[in-house]
């Protein structure tokens, strides 16, 4: 070979050698300066190359020092060899893939994401090049995030009285908890799923319109809340909050709805308001009762004492006619005072819950007869005729004592506001399951305005009768309360100058229904 050709060949070999050395140097520098694990094996699983990161990690994990020519499979613990052989064989069969593996060390679990690629030389697979990246921090962060998500979800799901859902801008479900799913099933008998249009799931036109308005306000960027009752027979109150969902660019991408069952709280508030109203009514009633005791009781006692004193001081000088007149006044005053005291005592008992309620079968005509026997002397003094039209077969289911108080007050009231020579009639008829009783008089009557305020505690007024008889108005309040207690109703029909009809109902006695 000519000298110049030999020189050229040597030059080419030197350049090739230098190039290979340069390539190896550069690859080694790259692999050694990375934080990833890098290793390569041949088709017999023997090591071709490892960087220091992989060699150090391997020794730390398995106490084995790796050098070129070491069989990597046999350097692994027996339980790991099968899985790793399968992985290397996949790459040796010309497959590139990745996986995540965990390694248990004395410091805990280490997670590595491994990328395996075949080494192809002149169309022949001669080995496997692997890269392993430590993703322990990422994996722990993912686990912590997943745990927090699971904790959040568990917290949300554990709130059985809290409804939560989110929708996109087209009203499609993105998320909902089980409480919301149950409420939709209960309200609209639908099994909801993610992706469904929430408006299409609401079958009530009214509910759908209200819901759409709330969602649209949130989708326009408005956060708002409302309290709304649901249901009729079993009323439930929900406090709902609606808010927009913003992405990282502060664009509205949907809305959330959160609703809490506040039925217990709302009912407590309503009960508190009711108690407050009742307290005001009781205070008003108390004031009225004190007013009655202070004025309406004093007046008849003054009459009784005054005329009694007059009779005693002038017993020998007063004629029979005047004596009878004074005695009638004393008798009338004593009767009205006794009636007022009875009403006051019964009212006090009813307000304190001490009056007993024992309904039973009552022949209504017997009650009327007993009461008329007590009231006839007062009616006779005013020359008022008492008539009754009560069929013997009318039997009511009521408390006897309460019924006597009702009838006595209504008849006494009719006598009081009927002129001398007037007439009062008591009649009863059966209408369906109720007896309707009418106590009618041809007295002075009542204006329509006054009729509207009857039977109301706040409207109790002392009204004088046709002979200046005192009246507190408390008797009608008692009548309404006792009639209601017995399952009936009371009302008045009247016209000034033409008398009044006081009507009330009581349930008819039903021997089968009352057993």
Q: How does pLDDT run across 170-223, given as a tens digit for each residue?
A: 999 998 888 888 888 888 889 999 999 999 999 888 889 999 999 999 999 999
Beta carbons within 10 angstroms of residue 393's beta carbon: 9
Q: Is 173 exposed, middle or buried (0-12, 13-18, 19+ CB in 10 A)?
A: buried
Report the distance separating Cα 27 and Cα 265, nearest Å.
Answer: 73
Helix (H) / strand (E) containing 260? strand 252-261
- Summarised one tens digit per residue, pLDDT across range 30-59 is 777 888 899 999 999 999 999 998 998 888
Average pLDDT over residues 114-127: 92
Give Cα 445 to chain centroid, integer Å.
49
Instruction: Indicate if the pLDDT at residue 13 is higher than 70.
Output: no
| Residue 473 DSSP code | S
Tens of pLDDT, residue by residue over 482-506, are 899 899 999 999 888 888 999 999 9
| Chain Cα centroid distance, residue 89 | 64
Query: For residue 70, what are the contacts with CB-CB under 8 A and spacing of at least 6?
Result: 46, 47
Phi, psi of 415 (to 5 degrees): -60, -40
pLDDT at 295: 54
Q: Is 219 helix (H, G, I), strand (E, B) or coil?
A: helix
246 closest CA partner among 217, 219, 213, 216:
219
Rounded to whole angstroms, the Cα distance separating 77 from 84 reads 11
Q: How far apart are CA 417 and CA 177, in angstroms?
A: 69
> What is the rounded distance in angstroms from the CA atom of residue 115 to the CA atom of residue 39?
11
User: What is the biggest distance separating any 2 CA atoms in the chain, rounded to whole angstroms?
Assistant: 184
For residues 391 and 365, is the Cβ–Cβ distance under 8 A?
yes
What phi, psi does 385 have (nearest 5°)?
-90, 130
Which segments of 111-253 does DSSP mark as H helices, in order?
136-158, 178-188, 198-201, 205-219
* Secondary structure of residue 2 in the 3-state scheme: coil
Arithmetic mean of pLDDT over the chain: 81
What average pLDDT does this structure show over 330-351? Answer: 70
3-state DSSP assignment of residue 295? helix
Percent over 70 (pLDDT), the chain:
78
CA–CA distance, 12 with 424 (Å, rounded to integer):
143
Average pLDDT value for residue range 115-127? 91
């Amino acid at each position: 070979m000519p000298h110049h050709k030999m020189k050229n060949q040597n030059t080419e070999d030197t350049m090739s050698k230098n190039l290979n050395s340069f390539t190896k140097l550069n690859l080694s520098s790259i692999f050694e300066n990375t934080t990833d694990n890098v290793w390569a094996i041949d088709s017999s699983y023997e090591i071709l190359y490892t960087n220091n990161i992989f060699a150090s990690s391997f020794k730390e994990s398995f106490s084995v020092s790796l050098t070129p020519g070491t069989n990597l499979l046999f350097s692994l613990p027996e339980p790991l060899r099968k899985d790793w052989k399968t992985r290397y064989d996949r790459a040796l069969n010309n497959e590139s893939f990745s996986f995540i593996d965990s390694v248990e060390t004395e410091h805990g679990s280490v997670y590595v994401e491994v990328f395996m690629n075949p080494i192809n030389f002149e169309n022949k697979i001669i080995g496997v090049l692997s890269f392993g990246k430590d993703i322990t921090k990422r994996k722990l962060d993912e686990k912590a995030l997943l745990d927090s998500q699971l904790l959040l979800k568990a917290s949300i799901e554990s709130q059985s009285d809290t409804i939560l859902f989110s929708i996109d801008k087209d009203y499609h479900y993105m998320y909902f908890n089980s409480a919301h799913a149950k409420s939709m099933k209960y309200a609209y008998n639908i099994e909801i799923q993610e992706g469904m249009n929430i408006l299409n799931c609401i079958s009530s036109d009214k509910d759908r319109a209200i819901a759409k308005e709330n969602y649209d306000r949130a989708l326009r960027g408005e956060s708002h809340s409302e309290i709304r009752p649901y249901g009729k027979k079993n009323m439930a109150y929900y406090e709902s909050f609606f808010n927009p969902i913003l992405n990282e660019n502060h664009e509205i991408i949907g809305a959330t709805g959160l609703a809490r069952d506040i039925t217990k709280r709302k009912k407590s508030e309503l009960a508190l308001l009711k108690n407050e109203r009742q307290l005001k009514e009781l205070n008003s009633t108390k004031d009225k009762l004190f007013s009655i005791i202070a004025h309406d009781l004093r007046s008849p006692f003054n009459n009784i004492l005054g005329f009694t004193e007059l009779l005693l001081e002038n017993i020998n000088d007063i004629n029979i006619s005047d004596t009878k007149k004074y005695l009638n006044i004393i008798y009338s005053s004593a009767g009205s005072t006794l009636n007022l005291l009875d009403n006051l005592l019964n009212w006090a008992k009813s307000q304190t819950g001490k009056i007993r309620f024992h309904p039973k079968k009552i022949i209504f005509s017997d009650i009327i007869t007993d009461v008329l026997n007590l009231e006839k002397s007062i009616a006779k003094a005013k020359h008022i005729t008492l008539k009754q039209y009560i069929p013997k077969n009318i039997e009511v289911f009521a408390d006897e004592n309460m019924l006597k108080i009702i009838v006595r007050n209504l008849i006494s009231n009719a006598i009081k506001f009927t002129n001398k020579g007037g007439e009062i009639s008591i009649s009863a008829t059966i209408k369906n399951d109720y007896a309707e009783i009418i106590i009618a008089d041809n007295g002075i009557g009542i204006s329509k305005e006054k009729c509207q305020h009857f039977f109301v505690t706040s409207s109790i007024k002392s009204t004088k009768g046709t002979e200046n008889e005192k009246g507190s108005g408390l008797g009608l309040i008692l009548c309404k309360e006792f009639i209601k207690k017995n399952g009936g109703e009371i009302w008045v029909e009247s016209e000034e100058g033409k008398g009044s009809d006081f009507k009330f109902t009581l349930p008819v006695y039903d021997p089968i229904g009352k057993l």
